[in-house]
Structure 1
Amino acid sequence: MTPLRRNRDFTILWTGQVISTLGARISATATPLLVLATTGSPLDAGLVGAAGTLPHLLASLPAGPLVDRWNRHRILLASELVAAVALLTVPVAIWSGVLTVAQMCAVVFVQGLCLVFFELAEHAALPMVVPPSRLATAFAANEARSRGVTLAGPALGGFLFTLDRALPFLFDGISYLLAAVSILFLRRDLRPQTHGPAEPLWTSALTGLRYVWRNPLIRASLLLIAVSNLVFQALVLVLVVHAGDHGATPARIGLMLGLYSAGGLLGALVAARVHSRLSFRAVLIGTHWIWAALLPLFALTTDPWQIGAIGALTAFVGPIWNVMILTYTGVTVPNELLGRVMSAATTVTWGVMPIASLGAGVLLTTVGPAGAIGTLSAIMLTTAIAATISPAIRRSNPLSGTRDAAPDHTPPAPPAPRDQPQLDPVPRPPG
């Protein structure tokens, strides 16, 4: 079996995204720090955070059919270039003294829109680049990529912000340009195979929703992930304010979030092995109870290192859950439905992000960081109970040849594993 490192196109795509994702994590760390330094308002920081995640709610559903119709190579390239232009306007505005909250909202909205299209196109293109027998390894490599750069990104973001508030955004804009150059060297034909005339856009988008809704286990999993995403998206801003209120500098906050991310990297490194040894049911239920137990601990400390350590424990189980649901959906979703199913899943699981960011700002303004942590902990406890009593999860059976769970009425699986939507129960901090 040929190692992935010898797959030229996968290596190019993977390496380009290391650079791009590192830049995104750096600017994501600096964004709330910049807004708080500019206006001093957690509500403004929440508003900017909501603008960055709003495309997941508004654009994911129509983007899926378009990814199934358009040349995915061009989508990847255009997404990187447009994001680069948007990010590079921020340092220009900072140095000119004209930066506003409205501009930051517009920039992060465009960046989020590009992210929606890029991630859908990347996942839909992966089976065209990697043979079916290597897909699971490719997903684990992508998890390690994202978690690894997230480990370095927050620390670099905090450090660059202390040198010059514009530097994190300049770095991110350049990283997008470098990633765009790498995409130019892809040789594989990434145009989707189309059969017959295209159906109307919204009719096509609803196909993905119907597929998700008719699979009880996927449906239940997506709802649980949506709630978990809401909690962790809000938690990042809450922890930044919580540490900042007790004297933590931007550099220390960046290191705190870097330590938080280290747990995710370790989880990504062991995810493939854990996936083969634990059932879907055990991972899904156990993950939510671990989170329910850990979240209240954030209220017991104000030390950035301790907050980062607790965060690392919560982040450790995220990649394990990711690989589990990715593998399950990978053997049930045919490639011709891939973009639409991914877009439906993204709409459900990431569509809550704007609510989470706004909710974090409101909670911080009304009840403060400690009250916000308590509220998020209660939501996670309720989610853990729901996962435990869910009939679809309790009745799940293992898929043939794996320990992953599948419902008794799983749709017929295609002969070979397929790509699947990115369902991230823990948004990679910070953002």
Structure 2
Amino acid sequence: MSFPAPPVADPEVAQRDSTHADGGSGGSTIADSTTPSQQLITERVGTALQMDPVITEIEGPARELQTPSLNRLWWGVTASTVASRTLVITYPLLALATTHSPTAVGLTTAMLTVPGLLFYLPVGVLADRVAPHFLIRQGESFRAAIIITVMIMVALGVAQLPLILVAAFLEGTLSTVYSVAEAALVPLVAHDDKVDAALAASERSTQLGALVARPLAGALFGLNQVLPFIIGPILVLLSSRSVPRYEEKCAVAPEYRAWPTGRFRLKELRAAIVEGFQELRSHSFLRAAVILTAATNFMVNALIVAFIASSIEVGPLIVGLVLAAGSIGGTLGTILAERTQSQKWILSIHLVIWTFALMLPAVNQHPVFFAFALLLTGWGAATNVAMRRYEKDKVAADKLARVVSVSRLAGHAAVVAAALVGGLLVDTWNIQVATRILSITMVTICVPFGVWLLFLSKNRVRTPA
């Protein structure tokens, strides 16, 4: 992998940035109709054209991204999420249908999840140096080609486990690229006064996509094994074409979006990753949010796995409806996030709601109690929006993707670990004991974490100079 070091900023531009950050005018003359960031972008377009072949089509001053383009992006996020979540279910089902082996299902599931553990951090470094819209377009196009290949093999009846495992691994890898690149793209293309609403809309699109994908995957595969692989490429290509073009708005710091040209050694990659960790550690709110979401994601995903492992007598329809409750709650959470401005209160509400939610299945193991618990944990989507809002406001632009990749890695690792723990709890005891262990653990987490949040609320959140 090759990357150049980020070019040194123009001293004149750096001085203007510093002056603007301090709130002074510094003698700068800015037209009433143009924001400082827009003026800065316009001045840097010439440099960008020489540095990044991806955005050579920009001509003239950058323009604000219009609402139709943002709406197109949200449809793209929804389409990509539907494709991704459908394939997460379809690939293991295909492995089972092909081999009739539970071990093959486990291997396929591992191939879908391992790339997140391996590549979130390197992809964060990549997305801080390559235009996010370019990563999305190229990644989604490659993803469509892979799905079409699997579709042909399935249609011909020659799909074998090695092909399924390779396709699942590449699907997990490209989904990781999309996740980080999309998070880095949204703050760049939305106008300043619409970024918060755009972040909430992005999260809402993800939740709606997950809600549609879960029942869709089983229904399509049940009708015909080829169907999910026909729908998948269509959705993925729609996602690729939905990415706003930079001539619509170039709200990007071009000096960090150069296409790789120089050698980028492993030592430099490690240093860039460490820099992302250090940036995240310098923000008290982000530290608390990442730890809280990782812990609660672990708890609720362990609960989901425990429920599925004990659902033999319940039936797949009920299981699907229970899991859909989480996506419904997530959609509602993104709406509430737009009306909740206090970041520290979002974390406090998150902690209280999830502690209460995990108590419900411990009291009664009826599917309705699981569904209501997952509905409540949808508040986690509001926390996700708060984190992205904070990252947009406080994190250095050239480190945003790396910070995002660290938080995504923490959440992903929690989900992977939860899959093992949830099944082990039910296998060792039963669903009643498993839910009570999870509930007691959540209460135990709630007490010290609540004290920490109280401490944070009384101390100003530290931000980098």
Cα distance, 1:164–1:307 mapped onto 2, change above 3 Å? farther
Q: Deviations over 1:27-51 (max 9, x none)?
A: 3344555566777877765554443
Q: Deviations over 1:235-256 (max 9, x none)?
A: 333333333x11413x443333
Q: CA deviation at 1:19?
A: 1.7
Q: CA deviation at 1:329?
A: 2.9
Match of 2:337 among 271, 279, 283: 271
- Report the residue type matching 2:327 in the other structure: S
- Report the residue type matching 1:239 in the other structure: F
Structure 2 counterpart SS, 1:395: helix
Say whether the 8 Å CA contact 2:77–2:202 is kept in structure 1: no
Q: Distance in 2 between matches of 1:73 and 1:165?
A: 32
Q: Distance in 1 between matches of 2:152 and 2:269?
A: 38
Q: TM-score, normalised by structure 1?
A: 0.79
Structure 1 counterpart SS, 2:181: helix
Identity, % of aligned pairs?
Answer: 28
Gaps of 5+ in 1: 399-405, 413-431
Cα distance, 1:76–1:397 mapped onto 2, change above 3 Å? same
Q: Identify the residue that residue 193 of structure 1 maps to in structure 2.
A: 254
* Residue 326 of structure 2 is aligned to residue 260 of structure 1: yes
Q: Distance in 1 between matches of 2:99 and 2:435?
A: 23
Say whether the 8 Å CA contact 1:395–1:407 is kept in structure 2: no
* Residue 177 of structure 2 is aligned to residue 117 of structure 1: yes
Say whether the 8 Å CA contact 1:158–1:254 is kept in structure 2: no
Q: Identify the residue that residue 312 of structure 1 maps to in structure 2.
A: 375
Q: Identify the residue that residue 204 of structure 1 maps to in structure 2.
A: 272
Say whether the 8 Å CA contact 1:298–1:310 is kept in structure 2: yes
Q: Identify the residue that residue 401 of structure 1 maps to in structure 2.
A: none
Q: Distance in 2 between matches of 1:41 and 1:309?
A: 34
Q: CA deviation at 1:299?
A: 5.3
Match of 2:409 among 344, 347, 372: 347
Structure 2 counterpart SS, 1:194: helix
Greater shift, 216-225 or 354-363, is seen at 354-363
Q: Identify the residue that residue 181 of structure 1 maps to in structure 2.
A: 241
Q: CA deviation at 1:57?
A: 2.0
* Residue 248 of structure 2 is aligned to residue 248 of structure 1: no
Match of 1:395 among 419, 434, 455: 455
Where do residues 362-377 of structure 1 align in structure 2 (5 Å cutoff)? 362-377=424-439
Q: Identify the residue that residue 443 of structure 2 maps to in structure 1.
A: 381
By relative contact order (CA 8 Å, sep 6+), the higher-ranking structure is: 1
Q: How many residues align?
A: 395
Where do residues 64-75 of structure 1 align in structure 2 (5 Å cutoff)? 64-75=124-135
Q: Distance in 1 between matches of 2:131 and 2:330?
A: 32
Cα distance, 1:138–1:192 mapped onto 2, change above 3 Å? same
Q: CA deviation at 1:310?
A: 3.1
Q: Distance in 1 between matches of 2:369 and 2:344?
A: 31
Q: CA deviation at 1:80?
A: 0.9
Cα distance, 1:9–1:99 mapped onto 2, change above 3 Å? same
Q: Deviations over 1:266-310 (max 9, x none)?
A: 22222211x13xx43333233223222222433566655553333
Q: Distance in 2 between matches of 1:308 and 1:135?
A: 32
Structure 2 counterpart SS, 1:246: coil
* Residue 307 of structure 2 is aligned to residue 239 of structure 1: yes
- Report the residue type matching 2:409 in the other structure: T
* Residue 422 of structure 2 is aligned to residue 356 of structure 1: no
Q: CA deviation at 1:103?
A: 4.7
Q: Identify the residue that residue 354 of structure 2 maps to in structure 1.
A: 291
Q: Identify the residue that residue 391 of structure 2 maps to in structure 1.
A: 329
- Pair member with larger Rg: 2
* Residue 218 of structure 2 is aligned to residue 218 of structure 1: no
Cα distance, 1:304–1:36 mapped onto 2, change above 3 Å? farther
Cα distance, 1:394–1:74 mapped onto 2, change above 3 Å? same
Cα distance, 1:157–1:268 mapped onto 2, change above 3 Å? same
Q: Distance in 1 between matches of 2:438 and 2:172?
A: 24
Gaps of 5+ in 2: 1-32, 34-63
Q: Identify the residue that residue 81 of structure 1 maps to in structure 2.
A: 141
Superposed CA RMSD: 3.4
Q: Identify the residue that residue 135 of structure 1 maps to in structure 2.
A: 195
Q: Distance in 2 between matches of 1:186 and 1:193?
A: 11
Q: Deviations over 1:49-102 (max 9, x none)?
A: 443232222111111221111232220112212222333455455555565665
Q: CA deviation at 1:366?
A: 3.9
Structure 2 counterpart SS, 1:254: helix
* Residue 344 of structure 2 is aligned to residue 281 of structure 1: yes
Q: Identify the residue that residue 462 of structure 2 maps to in structure 1.
A: 409
Q: CA deviation at 1:175?
A: 1.2
Q: TM-score, normalised by structure 2?
A: 0.73
Say whether the 8 Å CA contact 1:9–1:186 is kept in structure 2: no
Q: Distance in 2 between matches of 1:48 and 1:361?
A: 17
Q: CA deviation at 1:120?
A: 1.8
Q: CA deviation at 1:333?
A: 0.6
Say whether the 8 Å CA contact 1:155–1:257 is kept in structure 2: no
Cα distance, 1:88–1:259 mapped onto 2, change above 3 Å? farther
Structure 1 counterpart SS, 2:305: helix
Say whether the 8 Å CA contact 2:283–2:461 is kept in structure 1: no
Say whether the 8 Å CA contact 1:76–1:122 is kept in structure 2: yes
Cα distance, 1:33–1:80 mapped onto 2, change above 3 Å? same
